[in-house]
Amino acid sequence: MIDNICTAVSVSNIHDFKLFKQSRLPIKKETNVKVDTGYLGINFLHSNSDIPKKKTKLHPLTKEDKLANKMKASARITVEHVNAKIKTFKILGEKYRNRRKRFGLRFNLICALINSDRRFGVKC
């Protein structure tokens, strides 16, 4: 289970991995980071990361690779569920029409609500 939701925001549209590199979030070495294939190259930044194997035109995935990718996806689904909960607040799903200055604050408050929901069983 995920301990905390850690957030980083940017001024414009930016890829998740680029934002991750720019944010320089401190991650303990013993923490196992579970990511999708959009984070190719995270092994250079954090050695204890779990990334699925990609197939190429010349090297298709074996049955063992497919099974390993399925296990990694089933472990990563908790992160996707948190993303879905954040999107129910519509702060990410629609155009943000309030002051940009307060976006980070509001986003962190929503994540705090979701953290309390996951810890204490409170429904948002």
Q: Does a structural domain hold residue 69?
A: yes
Task: Determine the average pLDDT of the residues in 9-34.
Answer: 82
Segment (H or E) for 49: strand 49-50
pTM of the model: 0.68
The mean pLDDT of 48-74, rounded to a whole number, is: 92
Is the per-residue pLDDT at 51 higher than 50? yes
Average pLDDT over residues 23-47: 85
State how many domains the chain has: 1
Share of the chain above pLDDT 90, in %: 16
CA distances from 115 to 6, 10, 58, 110, 112 (A): 10, 22, 44, 9, 5
Asked whether residue 4 is assigned to any structural domain, the reply reads: no
pLDDT at 63: 96
Q: Is residue 6 part of a domain?
A: no
Residue 5 lies in a domain: no
Q: Give the residue numbers spanning the domain of 32.
A: 16-120
Q: Is residue 9 part of a domain?
A: no
Query: Could you tell me the pLDDT band of residue 120, with boundaries at 50, 70 and 90?
Result: low
